[in-house]
Amino acid sequence: MDSQDSGDVLTSMIQFINNHGEEQAEQLKREAEQEFTIECEKIIGNEKDRLDKIFESRLEQEGVEMKIKQSKARNTQRIKKMVERNKWAEEVFKDAQTRLQERMAENTDEYKELLKNLIVQSLIKLMETNVKVMCRQSDEELVTEVLDEAAQTYKDLMKDNVKMLNGAEPPLNIQIDPKKYLPEYNPDNPSASCSGGVKLHARKGRIVISNTLDDRLGLCYQESTPKIRKLLYPSY
């Protein structure tokens, strides 16, 4: 092989090597671009999923918060209505308390009979031998007038209805407590005053039966509250 032929062969080999290298470089470049594209799509997909989850979570949280706000608003409105209804119901109670006080003040005989019956009821609940009566100082005279009659009525009821007494009267020592009086009625502060009635206590105050007019009116109020609210608020 002469020098010309050798040069041609060498040139062909160099060209082949160069072409082959370029093809490999191009292939590597394409593969790198493909891998980059795939990786980018993967990253973008993962990020999209993450953002979707965050968005859904925030929407859900906002929905929960909105429901909580709506619930609080409804509860606040409901409480306001209840407070207003209770306010008017209490006004009815206070008005009844005032009217009761006025009626008892105007009808002494009726009030005396009521005091006697309240004392008898309290004695039956207590069933004690030594009893003291608490009343308003302004009622002390009336209570004194009915005390003996109330005691005798109690004894007669017990004698006739309690078999273990065998027809005998139960022993009873009852007197007005000279050291303790119920508060006088105050129209400006009826809740801290007393409209009338009595409290009986025994065994050094360890047993107490409260039978004031306010107690009895309170019982009537509790039983009548649904009716009062129905009258004041038909849609309640």
pLDDT digits (tens, 9 = 90+) for 140-190: 999 999 999 999 999 999 988 888 888 888 999 999 999 899 999 888 887
The three state secondary structure string of the chain is: CCHHHHHHHHHHHHHHHHHHHHHHHHHHHHHHHHHHHHHHHHHHHHHHHHHHHHHHHHHHHHHHHHHHHHHHHHHHHHHHHHHHHHHHHHHHHHHHHHHHHHHHHHCHHHHHHHHHHHHHHHHHHHCCCEEEEECEHHHHHHHHHHHHHHHHHHHHHHHHHCHHHCCCCCCCEEEECCCCCECCCCCCCHHHCCCCEEEEEECCCCEEEEEEHHHHHHHHHHHHHHHHHHHHCCCC
- Tokens matching residue 110: 């009726």
pLDDT of residue 167: 84
| pLDDT (mean) for 43-49 | 77
- Of 62-66, 88-92, 188-192, the poorest mean pLDDT is in 88-92
- Domain 108-232 CATH class label: alpha beta
**How far is it, in rounded angstroms, from Cα 162 to Cα 158?**
5
What is the mean pLDDT of the segment spanning 204-225? 87
Residue 47 banded pLDDT, cuts 50, 70, 90? confident
Return the domain boundaries, the chain.
108-232
pLDDT bracket for residue 98 (50, 70, 90): confident
- Enter the pTM of the model: 0.62
Q: 25: Cβ–Cβ under 8 A, 6 or more apart, which residues?
A: none
What average pLDDT does the segment 81-108 reach?
79
Higher pLDDT, 11 or 176: 176
- Residue 146: per-residue pLDDT: 96
Structure confidence at residue 135 (pLDDT): 97
Least confident of 5-9, 15-19, 81-85, 128-132: 5-9
What is the model's pLDDT at position 70? 84
